[in-house]
Structure 1
């Protein structure tokens, strides 16, 4: 309702009864003698509106005026700068608010979002070990994390320091979060770049009064993943000034691969998979002129496939990590209609992952690693080109990641002639560091494998024995070849934003709402790696370097026009963006909202979107890695393939790959369409249901896809300059430069139902169901290449795939509160998937089973402010389903959880 409608109405003080727990009779009694009525706009939302006038009825005026003016401003929803007077969004929004956050038992934002139905694909977290970097991201609709925009309080934040592709959720403390709004629709017209798949808007606490102390402790039933969390929040002030302070500490223990049956071995033949053990074993793989041998207690013997090495004895399945944070929010009223605000946040994160000792592949690693015939440890009197050795004497590789993030926002906001305005200045900074130890310097090793005539030319050269038994590499040799890699990256963002919104005018059907604003932003990325002179150390990766910045100027506007009073609205938005490095782009959005009946809302929208190439995409040089890929030339039919020079080595699963930036990249573009209905029956006041269809079509996708290059090279003889092979047909190097070459189309359905009932007998009961269905996920790696439907499939990200894309992902749960007792029960479901891989030289497919878990929490609160809860996640101890093509731990850690049954307790005090 409008402010001037409310300001002239008074009702006497009344004692209203709710005999059955429903608020409807009380509201009917309260508004009985006014021109107002109410309607339900959601399970927890009621809108007070003017009654429809009967024909010939005159406008009544109230003879009483209130002592204070009442102004109803509405609330802006994620996806719009307009402050709607009714909670009617033209796109589906999931809201996770108190007490939903408490009842989940989640202690991190990434943990909370991982099981949302709309989240699928390659999101990262501390569950991702080999290939992870301690950060956490979210991937809506199965699109890359860079296609989902993460906001804090509706404002853009700095991306992570390791590459600037997406925001790091680990730098947002859950203890400071009031609610999380997930917009499942494109929003480039409102927010600019990256909002192709949707927006995750994290609303922090700002107006909290009092003191809140919270503690958490949990561990798996097997005794690992010991996790603790502590937070203190205080807020207070007077009518002009309010200050809030929040401190938090979070520590998560590890889970080792060897401690779970799903992940304890890389040999998956008994499960219907392949043997993924490594040819680089402590005993060695030594290819001589006429045979391949290995070490044994009785000397050298012929090498067999049973000599492959199980590297899972050393690896982490869940990375131990810790985070500390401080958050400060200040509001100060300068005048009746103007106030100043400031928000400051500092976060420190640390993690440490373990990997198996460094493997050496002399034929395929950097440098000339041929073992000379006159090397003092070579008993075979011939040059040896191909030796594969696991140097366990070095000890396990240890990867240490650390991030320090600082965010500061300050500004003014106020009200002027029914228009609200806000001016904000922001400065964000994040520094990320990574150290990987117990690697090998390829150039020192190259010298150490030569004969005395070469090694003696270098005074500090120490010959190294790669041909001996375990323990034959002594400390002097280890000290000579041992190395550590370092990556140091910084991301910065500074911005100034001005936004104003309010009624543009009044037409017979209602108020026309509008918003407009401008934003100036500077983004900068700078990172470098310390490696082997521009190449990767053996056992690690070279991230290279990237240095760049861009200036961005944007203007935007929105409008909402009521075409029929309380029945039909036309919404529009447009954003114009000017980037200093690639040019300009304009993205509009149009939406219709139609309410044929008070209980039914039909909504439809069309929008274009874009994702700017990251500064790393455009500026990176020297990135080199051993990628987990598949070469079709290793199959038995290799002689029939155009690009194969005979059958390549079947035991290889990693290939040296060089990636590179491209300053000529253009933005990825998209078209987003949606159509949905929302049903909120007035005679069933606690019920809310919605069904939304979405369609995302994306072009000019930035991709490197070394797997695509290999496939085209092997099958069609293409890209011979990018896929380099030796005379035997084995790949020696892959060169992959980023290009705008890909295209996607994702289409599906979101469905949700919620019901709430309050009665004296049962207390408060809430039930909800939320599901997301991918109807199709069409992916084309490059123009002219086949279009694949990835719906319901799993292709590991280590192989360049999109991860798990289940047709259905859903959750349902019930929450009860009666007196001092609370309880929650939640079911998470992930549909079955299909994967394809090579088994015994045949390309086969298999099913990855569906996965269902059950979470339970019971809590008791006392009047003095104490609350105690005990909960268990994965109540029936359901292991993640086996995936034969998953590199990390034989399952997709981005979709499932390896911990098993997990117990936790929480204790809190609020006053």
Structure 2
């Protein structure tokens, strides 16, 4: 049956930010009977109806250009349904180490998160086919790096905000991002762009080029893209230039250029906690302590801590180069073929403060050379104390030596990532009893390789040798005694040459895929054709991470890790039906049902089946109701299965630290002495993959309505208006995760939870020296919420035409229940672990057009958040220290863009000027965030971003 014209309007809710499908439909007046059947993300069945059973949001090329962003990741990360994805504002190397999922830190990459369920639960497709996962340089990634897909290649982006495992297989629990590439291009297009932050710098510039053509049987398109972004130092923004804003040096590091030395004097039995007077104009003497020394040392105090923040980056540098091309050829009227190729290269970098040495029995770094085998010989010419400082056996008297070798410069992690993608296929069509059918067969081979070079790290074995007996050191080529006691500037170039290597790590991900699909109409039912789609897909994933040899040998002073290598394959079959149940053309009503099922056979864990059921009820020409229920699953990734023991340094607050806390009965029961104070805020946590992991399983429900009121169509005050409302609910069982490390500490101390207390050990001095946090199928995640949208197009007037597009997402519930049946700290309205789940996010775009001119004003809003005060508890900057509560105020960004298009030059000239964050809004200060004093995955950089673009068609 033909679809009534008003129902087309319902398909265009919110245009650029709608819950339904293409914004292009918002502006078209074509009769629906003339629409070609197309495949819309969320279904394999070709159909002419634009409203499917599922909420699909489409970002057209116009929407992309209007945003002012120049990367796919920036565009999708600013959707109201998006969560905390990695991006170039996140300086993600250094102490972040190796996350529990074995995927590495993904430095320089950018990912997408939908519904706050994590990037690894979002499936990324390009033209409906999977894209290779990123290679992070420090692990085997389980998410796609969107920086490998340039905007110059993109025609539109379709975002399915619903579970779709029965249609696409694993990873589609939270939704699907399908990037549709440009086709049917005639002629050439060149665009140059430049942007900068007014107070920060961070210049970006680049060029996009494309050229296409063809004939009746041949279509081709080739292009290239270049993008470069300069780095911005943390010193450019005040709150980012200290460890935790408003706390001075209280949260600074105890590894300082002057050094910190905690040891027991074997001659007196006194435990000392000292630092050198070097470089200190007024040494701090604590009352009641023997600090008035004459040997150039004084007792370590807060004022001696090291401010590591100025060495970090607010914006990481990135340079990306891409070439791509595709060709489509029609062998005859019914059979054609295609080939597509892409090569992408990225150079990026991250930076952290000079790498500290933490040596001694309290260091807790899981390293043989620093914990249990170190002897700083009394014969070492730089040992000022006249006796051995040792970590060996019963005579161990060196509890902590913290030294920050600023002489060696900051840690610099440089990534060189290469991604190539080749796809080819054959597709065709035929008729069965005058009903159209189509089919396709696809082959894909893709690979991503990363090399990460680390400057500014150290070899612990060589440090051990250089601190030992000078005679033994002299017998080792290049070894010279090392001075860790003389203060800043006393580590000489010769010392550095022996202990400071260049560390090189490599990783790779490979994808091989074969798929075959067929779709058509099985029969003509009273209410319309019975749609059908079926297919087969084979995929093989291969991944590896090879750390530097000194890391494998356990000699690396930074974050130790073992090598990872693994692969798995999967064979899948799927079936989908679109069943028309009822239709009444006179009333403009119809009822349709969709059914889908998929069977997946994995080499790692066996078979898995999923199903999906949907209903779409067109109540009248202006109102559509729809809903889906779906099963989903996510197979464990290579890193999650095969990742070897590794470590990350988590910034944690020990609940037993300090005289007022150490005497708690729970702390006393753990053997914490009454005078215990946490030596270092960074506690080393060991993580690992788990080959026994099983798939995550999910259930998804969406219920929605699209209303295009007739009173707002073709009226004097409104050309058309569309409103959308969708309720979503996701439940994930057997979620693969490692428990939150801070929550483990809190549950052990305050609730005596046996699992939590068994996860870590303390030394006899109370310091945490072992902390295990291993992946398992531990959790259950439940989340639900609402999406609302409005699209309103006013009639064209002599002064131009106005259009309003609005969208809002409300998260009603987010609950992650751990293995003990207790809720982890993530929740709506809460900032935790450098990411947030705002209860409300919304956007409104107002666009005015007249002839060649266009002016757009966009407003992006992020609701208020609350957080733990973390290291700022007890300081005035914390709103409520008694309840460990701090508030992050709601934030609103205003973006403005003006553009002019003319055919005065060649086939078309366009000039665009814009500013994002027009009012210069700063992000709210985050006291619990690990770097830069704000949440880089939720908020913009501080200050305005100005940009200009000039393009020409030929």
Question: Counterpart in 2 of 1:834?
Answer: 866
- 1:173 is the counterpart of 2:150: yes
SS in 2 for 1:784: coil
CA distance in 2, matches of 1:267, 1:188: 42
Residue 393 of structure 1 is matched in structure 2 by: 407
CA contact (8 A) 1:874 1:902 kept: yes
8 Å CA contact 2:91, 2:351 repeated in 1: no
Aligned equivalents of 2:820, 2:507: Cα separation in 1: 34
Going by fraction, where is strand more abundant, 1 or 2? 1
Aligned to 2:118: 144
User: Is 1:751 the counterpart of 2:788 in the alignment?
Assistant: yes
Deviation string 1:295-349 (CA, Å, 9 cap, x unpaired) is 2247322221111111122111110101000110101010111111111111001
CA contact (8 A) 2:89 2:941 kept: no
Choose the corresponding residue for 1:637, options 653, 656, 661: 661
State the 1:683 CA deviation: 4.0
How far residue 453 of structure 1 moved from its aligned partner, in angstroms, is 5.4
SS state of the match for residue 483, structure 1?
coil
Pairing 1:92–2:55 present: yes
Question: Does the Cα contact within 8 Å between 1:742 and 1:783 map onto a contact in 2?
Answer: no
CA distance in structure 1 between the partners assigned to 2:250 and 2:52 by the alignment:
51
Aligned partner of residue 867 in structure 1, secondary structure: strand
Matches of 1:689 and 1:543, distance apart in 2: 52
Which range moved further: 236-245 or 115-124?
Answer: 115-124
Select between 127-136 and 822-831 the one with higher mean Cα deviation.
127-136
From 291, 311, 333, the equivalent of 2:272 is 291
Shift of 1:83: 1.7
Spell out, residue by residue over 1:460-503, the C-alpha distance to the aligned partner (whole angstroms, 9 max, x if none). Answer: 43221111121011011111110233221111111111111111
Q: What is aligned with 2:897? A: 857
What is the match of residue 559 of structure 1?
577
1: CA distance, partners of 2:375 / 2:724: 65
Q: 1:608 is matched with which residue?
A: 631
Unaligned runs of 5+ in 1: 7-22, 25-39, 51-70, 798-802
Question: What CA distance in whole angstroms lies between the structure 2 residues aligned with 1:675 and 1:123?
Answer: 30
What's the CA shift for 1:709? 4.0
Give CA deviations for 1:750-791 in whole Å, capped at 9, x if unaligned: 111111234141334221001111101011121433465611
Deviation at 1:286, TM superposition (A): 1.8
Q: How does 1:495-644 map to 2 (within 5 A)?
A: 495-534=513-552, 540-565=558-583, 566-635=589-658, 636-639=660-663, 640-641=665-666, 642-644=669-671
1:845 paired with 2:845, answer no
Structure 1 residues 465 and 783, CA gap change in structure 2 (3 angstroms): same
Q: How does 1:324-343 map to 2 (within 5 A)?
A: 324-343=321-340
C-alpha distance after superposition, 1:617-645 (max 9, x if no partner): 11111322323333323253233224352
Name the CA distance, whole Å, in 2 between partners of 1:123 and 1:135.
7
Q: Is the 8 A contact 1:577 1:584 kept in 2?
A: yes
> In the aligned structure 2, how far is the partner of 1:44 from the partner of 1:96?
14
Whether contact under 8 Å (2:382, 2:482) holds in the other structure is yes
CA distance in 1 between counterparts of 2:653 and 2:613 reads 44
Work out whether residues 129 and 888 of structure 1, in 8 Å CA contact, stay in contact via their aligned partners in 2.
Answer: no
Aligned to 1:696: 730
Match of 1:439 among 441, 457, 478: 457
Q: Which has the larger displacement, 282-291 or 243-252?
A: 282-291
- Separation (CA, whole Å) in 2 of partners of 1:518 and 1:135: 31
Per chain length, whose mean CA-contact separation is higher, i.e. which structure has more relative contact order (CA < 8 Å, sep 6+)?
2
Change (3 A) 1:241 1:42: closer
Is residue 46 of structure 2 the alignment partner of residue 83 of structure 1?
Answer: yes
Q: What's 2:196 paired with?
A: 219
Tell me the residue number matched to 1:64. none
TM-score by length of 2: 0.86
Per-residue displacement from partner, 1:143-188 (whole Å, max 9, x unpaired)?
Answer: 1110111111111111112323100001010111101111111000
1:376 aligned onto 2:416: no
Cα displacement string for residues 512-534 of structure 1 (whole angstroms, at most 9, x for unaligned residues): 11111110111111121115353
Residues 1:372 and 1:723: Cα distance change in structure 2 (over 3 Å): farther
Match of 1:153 in 2: 127
8 Å contact kept, 2:723–2:791: yes
C-alpha separation between the residues in 2 aligned to 1:695 and 1:461? 62
Q: Report the CA distance between 1:509 and its aligned residue.
A: 1.1
How far 1:822 moved relative to its partner? 1.1
Counterpart for residue 701 of structure 2:
673
Bigger shift: residues 479-488 or 545-554? 479-488
Which moves more between the two structures, 279-288 or 415-424?
279-288
Q: Which residue of 2 aligns with 1:31?
A: none
1:92 positional shift: 1.6
Contact map agreement 2:843 2:858 (CA 8 A) in 1: yes
Q: Show the counterpart of 1:12.
A: none
In the superposition, relative to structure 1, how do residues 225 and 278 fare at CA in structure 2: closer, same or farther (>3 Å)?
same
Aligned partner (choices 771, 780, 785) of residue 734 of structure 1? 771
Deviations 1:648-699 (A, max 9, x none): 5434221222221211110011110111111122442321111101110111
Alignment-derived partner of residue 12 in structure 2: none
Structure 2 CA distance for aligned equivalents of residues 638 and 584 of structure 1? 51
* Secondary structure, aligned partner of 1:440: coil
Residue pairs, 1:123-522, within 5 angstroms: 123-130=86-93, 131=96, 132=105, 133-162=107-136, 163-222=140-199, 224-269=201-246, 275-289=250-264, 290-297=271-278, 299-363=296-360, 364=363, 365=365, 366=367, 367-368=369-370, 369=374, 371-382=376-387, 383=389, 384-417=398-431, 418-452=436-470, 454-456=472-474, 458-522=476-540
**Other structure's SS at 1:439 match:** coil
Length, aligned pairs only: 852
Range with bigger deviation, 200-209 or 619-628: 619-628
Residue 818 (str. 1) matches residue 815 (str. 2): no
Distance 1:858-1:533 versus aligned 2 partners, 3 A rule: closer
Distance 1:288 1:655, change over 3 A: same
**Match of 2:673?**
646
Higher mean alpha-carbon deviation, 91-100 vs 554-563, is at: 91-100
Q: Pick closer, same or farther for the CA change 1:533–1:432 going to 2, 3 Å.
A: closer
Preserved CA contact (<8 Å) 1:821 1:859: yes
Whole-Å separation in 1 of the counterparts to 2:236 and 2:53 = 48
Q: CA distance change for structure 1 residues 432 and 543 in 2, over 3 Å: closer, same or farther?
A: farther
Matches of 1:46 and 1:788, distance apart in 2: 50
- Contact 2:61 2:154 (C-alpha < 8 Å) held by counterparts: no
**Could you tell me how far 1:260 is from its partner in structure 2?**
0.8
Question: Cα offset for 1:46?
Answer: 4.9
The two structures, once aligned, show a CA RMSD in angstroms of 2.4
- In 1, the alpha carbon distance for the partners of 2:800 and 2:158 equals 27
Separation of aligned partners in 1, 2:764 and 2:813: 42
Of 111, 116, 119, which aligns to 2:79?
116
Alpha-carbon deviation of 1:121?
2.9
Cα distance in 1 between the residues matched to 2:375 and 2:766: 18
In 1, Cα distance between equivalents of 2:694 and 2:235: 45
Alpha carbons of 1:787 and 1:820: their partners in 2 closer, same or farther (altered >3 Å)?
Answer: closer
Cα displacement (A) at 1:581:
0.8
Aligned in 2, Cα 1:93/1:274: closer, same or farther, shift over 3 Å? farther
**TM-aligned CA distance change 1:275 to 1:84, over 3 Å:** farther
Q: Does 1:48 align with 2:27?
A: no
Look up the match of 2:941: 898
When residues 88 and 239 of structure 1 are mapped into structure 2, their CA distance, relative to the original with a 3 A threshold, is same
Tell me if the contact between 1:284 and 1:295 (Cα under 8 Å) persists in the aligned partners: yes
Mapped to 2, the partners of 1:156 and 1:444 lie a distance apart of 46
Displacement after TM superposition at 1:718 (Å): 4.2
